[in-house]
Chain A
Amino acid sequence: MSIKKEYNLIVIGGGPAGMAVAYSAFQAGVKDILLIERHHKLGGILNQCIHVGFGLHYFKKELTGTEYAARYRKLLSNTDIEIKLSTFVTNVSPQKEVTFINRSDGVCVARAQRLVLATGCRERTREMLTVPGFRPAGIFTAGLAQEMVNIYGLMPGKKIVVVGSGDIGLIMARRLTLEGSQVLAVLEIQPQLSGLIRNKVQCLDDFNIPLYLEHELLEILGKNRVEGIRYRDVKGQKEVYMKCDAVLFSVGLIPERDLLIDQEMTPSNEVRLAGNANYVHELVDHATKESEKIGQEIAQELLGAKNV
């Protein structure tokens, strides 16, 4: 176990927001920056986004998520930001001490002048909605299904219902259709779409996948594998049974701030949130720009203080 030197800035999370904070702070002159990423590669959830729709604002070119991540990784490769991959932060303290572990270093503790959590968000799940019914195999969050298909080449089902009209759900409706599954419907309890209009057009309409607004999932059926669902038209109260073998949930994202919550800490000038850990952004380009601003602000605070 080692107590490392102090850093000026530690950024937790090497997705688009974390990379942007570290990069912009470095560009503005901050030395001794540590960027910690739990995956073996920087890029965060972009690495499983093989569809286009990224980068128009920031890189002025329509890119896939993986391309966007690769471009930003390249920017970082020309810096001397210290990057720790496959490294997991287990604790942050109000004194801005960060405890992290990995296979080769064991347990390490480092202290920072400024700390940024760019830890992204997690998906709401079936369990959180306490959807009644059984607990069979074949229930996925849309993001997990995306990882299964795009990273592992595995199919979550043949006849699929998507519950919730979040962007990942819409993207996955198209993706699974292209891979040969039948996506029977997207159910949304609200009267309006939750994701981007362009995703409805490109992912549902172009593939004749019906979107049922104001439709509520009532129950999941099937003791071993999903066999079907019951849902209801919120207005007409008509109940429908639909046979399917998988259900994908795309019912919202929750900013990931457990490292702070565990310590009853709140964000401050010294401990900031960036990207989706702060609030869920519609476009990665926005998260990048906003996070670069955070990096610049931190640089101003740190370097300004030194100059005085």
Chain B
Amino acid sequence: MIIKSHDITHDIIIIGAGIVGAAIAYELAKYELEILVLEKEAEPSFGVSKSNSGIIHTGFQSPATSLKGKLAVRGNKLYSDLAQKLDLPLKQIGELVVAFEEELPKLEEMQKNGQELGVPDLQIVDRAWLDQHEPNLNQDIQYALLGPTAAVINPYEAVYALLENALANQAQLHCSEKVLSIQSQNSVWQVTTEKAVYKTRYVINAAGLFADEISQLAGILCPKIIPRKGEEFLLDRHIQNLTERVIFPVPKPDTKGVLIIPTVDGNYMLGPTATEIEDKTDLSTSQAGKEKVLKAISNLVKWLPETIVITSFAGLRPALKNGDFYIQEDQPGFVNLVGIQSPGLTAAPAIAEHVREIIEKKQPLKTRVHYQSERKAIPRFRDLPLNQKNTLIQQDPDFGEIICRCEEVTKAEIKMAIQRGACTLDGIKFHTRAQMGRCHGSFCTAKIMTILKDELGLKYQQITKRGKGTEIVY
């Protein structure tokens, strides 16, 4: 246990409530530590983590010598246990890197690399196997590297699961609170935000795209983040049987390529592109991006439905020039996590262990006395059997009121999301799927705004899409 002097407010301040910050909060909340997570956005997961492909990679795509490779392989192993404890939907569907005739040597190289990393059960399969298991793949694809341990999740659901558990174990979370300055005095770090001043033993910089800027605030040099944009395109739930597994082309040096991702929600996602940009807030999509993705995918499959895209979005990867993660205690008590891009979601639980080890090296940690190891998700009404639906409605009539008809989300689920911290339309969407269906909120937006207004005591005019400046109506 870390000894506290009287003016220290926290043992650990984590900057950033994305997947990395959430995983670290979860890991450290197992111990008797005063933890505070600071997030500049209105809700957790509103940065890099919300627009992510949602793949738990096997890890074989990263070099065997890299830190990210080791952490991704370890992270993949940790997820199935996390999914159980934290009630996180996860489907282990496997991944295939598909190759044309001349690309076989590349697959063998990747397999060898994966084996060095300790990725289990890697196997190169031939056309006969593909005909049987992935009949829609382009006929010219002759081989594929099969990684059966790959899985899919919703990245934001992982953030919620990890953070809700951390909060149940006494960690604190402050949203809409941007860090303005960081100073150190006598091995205590002073973190000044828009709202308060905190004094802490440790600062964990998990600020995603802005991690290099946070490091600079503390006067610590670190590699510069080069945002790399990825555009993704989601298909309607009615489109089925495109592929069973996550499909990758043979990768290029800077990207894993354009993928077919059967998401955990049962619809397909196509993407991402990879374009280096300057502006860390540029989340615009483009016609060129769409054309590029559809062209790349049409190269992978025999059949692609014509009018298919129900929505698109862009995300930014916080990439570094050398391509690896940068994780180190750059000054005593200041841990930098910079350049945590793909496979950052996969690696996050292992990154959290790594950070815990850094802290543990200096100071033994005391296990939390009343530790809660589990967390329950908001029930997903749509997926329950009829008798369970009926029981829920009897217990709480709000389950008998459907608000989002496309995704069959009830008023009770939306109220639960609000109780768990959702305060914006996007937050409600990521917590419950309301507005995520094929009408994109045309029918439920006003109803959700009314629930937010009533539950949070707001005026309609104060309700936002994703925080201050994104108000919906006048």
Chain A residues within 8 Å of B, Cβ to Cβ = 1, 38, 86, 88, 90, 99, 101-107, 109, 122-123, 125-128, 130, 132-138, 141, 143-144, 147-148, 151-152, 154-158, 219, 223-225, 258, 261
Contact = CB atoms under 8 A, between A and B. Distances in A.
A86 B285 CA distance: 38
Contact of B285 (A133, A148, A261): A133
Interface stretch (B164-172, B183-191, B307-315): B307-315
Contact of B474 (A88, A157, A223): A157
B322 interface: no
Main secondary structure of the interface of B (DSSP, over half): mixed
Nearest to B313: A135
Interface in B392-422: 393-394, 397-398, 400-402, 405-406, 408
A224 B469 contact: yes
A130 B451 CA distance: 29
Contact of B393 (A101, A125, A151): A101
A157 B471 CA distance: 10
B400 A134 contact: no
The 7 closest A-B pairs by CB, nearest first: A224-B469, A127-B311, A103-B400, A154-B473, A103-B397, A1-B390, A137-B465
B440 interface: yes
Interface string B377-388: 000000000110
Contact of B287 (A86, A132, A141): A132
Contacts of B393: 101, 103, 106-107
Given A107-B386, A130-B309, A141 B442 contact: yes
Given A1-B390, A137-B471, 16 more contacts: A38-B405, A101-B400, A101-B402, A102-B400, A103-B393, A104-B400, A106-B393, A122-B442, A122-B443, A125-B440, A128-B310, A128-B311, A134-B284, A148-B446, A152-B446, A154-B473
B326 interface: no
Contacts of A125: 439-440, 442
Interface in B209-256: 233, 238
B389 interface: yes
Interface in B422-474: 438-443, 445-446, 450, 460-461, 464-466, 469-474
A156 B464 CA distance: 12
Nearest to B312: A130
Contacts of A225: 469-471
Contacts of A99: 386
B84 interface: no
A127 B310 contact: yes
B16 to A, nearest CB: 19
A83 B325 CA distance: 61
Contacts of B470: 136-137, 224-225
B162 to A, nearest CB: 26
B286 interface: yes
Contacts of B471: 137, 225
Contacts of A104: 397, 400
Contacts of A101: 389, 393, 400, 402
A243 to B, nearest CB: 17
B405 A88 contact: yes
Given A101-B389, A123-B439, A144-B441, A132 B285 contact: yes
A90 B441 CA distance: 18
Contact of B446 (A123, A130, A147): A147
B283 interface: yes
A122 B466 CA distance: 25
A261 B237 CA distance: 11
B372 interface: no
B199 interface: no
